[in-house]
Amino acid sequence: MSYISNVLFLAMEPFRPLFVVFPYLFGLGPQRKVVTEEYPDPTSSKSPEVLPLRFRGHLINDMDKCIGCGDCSSVCPQACLKIEASDVPNREKKWVSVFDIDLSLCISCGLCVDACPAASLTHSKEFRIISDEKAGLVLTFGLGVLNKERIDNWDKKIKKDLV
């Protein structure tokens, strides 16, 4: 009896995968899962809010904190940070007129974030970076050319933040 059952078992062996494949083909059984998502898909499970804590989206710089030291640029292996900063009389902080990040070069290594002494440079959770031209991949955070109006507004803002 055991000889016959062994033979039957082995005879069925080539057909065993079909028990998995056929239900899948006809949309039956637990194997049938939709795993492909269209893009952009508003119902996608991959929203920025559900990404892991240390996910490295594109960089953002909080210009209220940035001191224009240039440490981030010094450690960047891709030379994708362009910074122009100048001293302002009677103020500790530099005026950062240009702070551009070229995302077409950035490899999201995070070295610049680790090097930033002011913790102003961080990774966002945003992974949707799309542009049909290279210039569209440059993020601009600079405060612009320094002039009296801008420095007055800056002073007012700093005083307001201190209150």
Q: Measured from the CB atom, is 23 or 51 closer to ligand SF4?
A: 51
86 in Cβ contact with 94 (< 8 Å): yes
Q: Measured from the CB atom, is 124 or 153 closer to ligand SF4?
A: 124
Residues that bind ligand SF4 (CB under 6 A): 59, 61, 66-72, 75-78, 80-81, 83, 101, 106-112, 115-118, 120-121
Q: How far is the CB of 156 from ligand SF4 (least distance, A)?
A: 22
The encoded tokens of residue 116 equal 């930033």
Q: How far is the CB of 45 from ligand SF4 (least distance, A)?
A: 26
- The C-alpha atoms of residue 50 and residue 137 are separated, in whole angstroms, by 24
- The C-alpha atoms of residue 94 and residue 87 are separated, in whole angstroms, by 5
Q: Measured from the CB atom, is 104 or 151 closer to ligand SF4?
A: 104
88 in Cβ contact with 94 (< 8 Å): yes
